[in-house]
Amino acid sequence: MADFVIEATEGGEAAPAGEGGEDAVAHAEFGDKHSSLCKKLPLLTVNAGPRNAKAWQARLKQEYVAIIKLVKMNKANDEDWFSIQSNKIGTRWKGKCWIFLDALKYEFKMEFEIPVSYPATSPELCLPDLDGKTDKMYRGGKICLTDHFNPLWARNAPGFGIAHALVLGLATWMAVEIPDLIARGVVAHVDGATVIN
């Protein structure tokens, strides 16, 4: 399998990987926008991680379908906010995520690895450029998801996947933390580029 790249320009129709569970993500702490977007994503049905190579390929296919659907929904709503690609076996992911505030685009590198215990354990999403810049982050730039997202993930495993982590984990974290970092002068926008002080 070649590296798989997903961007806002991704083509083709994505079919749902699973059904049900719409009320599982109805938590006010994530906001109506993120919860309603997440409800539209397919729930994954294959309960396998990278250690089970054959079943992992089936799970990975469902992951790609869900991510492509998320990209399409974002594009249809003119709300693109990330691009992502995986290594050949789908265990390491990298890309960029961004947020627009006051008509300025703030862009950050994003990366994560699929944990050995996946999908029982959520991936640790990392924004390495912001390492040490906020209390809501662990060493290496891993964003804090322990209080709100990880319990929700545990209740919805194996149905949740990477797309769900991006919407309910990363997008929610960015919506709260990035404006604060900008207000404190930690993140700035200079000459069309994001600058981290």
Assign residue 93 the CATH number of its domain.
3.10.110.10
The reported pTM is 0.81
pLDDT, residue 23, reads 40
**SS3 of residue 154 by DSSP:** helix
Domain count, the chain: 1
Q: Considering the domain boundaries, does residue 98 fall inside one?
A: yes
Q: Please identify which of the residues 38, 97, 126, 144 carries the catalytic annotation.
A: 144
Give the C-alpha separation, 69 to 148, whole Å.
24
Active-site annotation holds for 144: yes
pLDDT, residue 48, reads 97
- Give pLDDT tens digits along the chain (197 positions): 334 343 333 333 333 333 334 343 333 344 455 556 778 899 999 999 999 999 999 999 999 999 999 999 999 989 899 999 999 999 999 999 999 999 999 999 999 999 999 999 999 999 999 998 988 888 889 998 887 788 989 999 999 999 999 999 999 899 999 999 999 999 998 888 888 88
Q: Considering the domain boundaries, does residue 16 fall inside one?
A: no
Give the C-alpha separation, 145 to 64, whole Å.
22
Among residues 16, 15, 71, 17, which one has the least CA distance to residue 44? 17
pLDDT, residue 137, reads 86
Domain that holds residue 121: 33-196
| Bridge partners for 110 per DSSP | 95
Q: Considering the domain boundaries, does residue 106 fall inside one?
A: yes
Give the C-alpha separation, 59 to 63, whole Å.
6
Q: Considering the domain boundaries, does residue 9 fall inside one?
A: no
| Bridge partners for 114 per DSSP | none
**191 Ramachandran zone, left/alpha/beta (phi>0; psi -120 to 50):** left
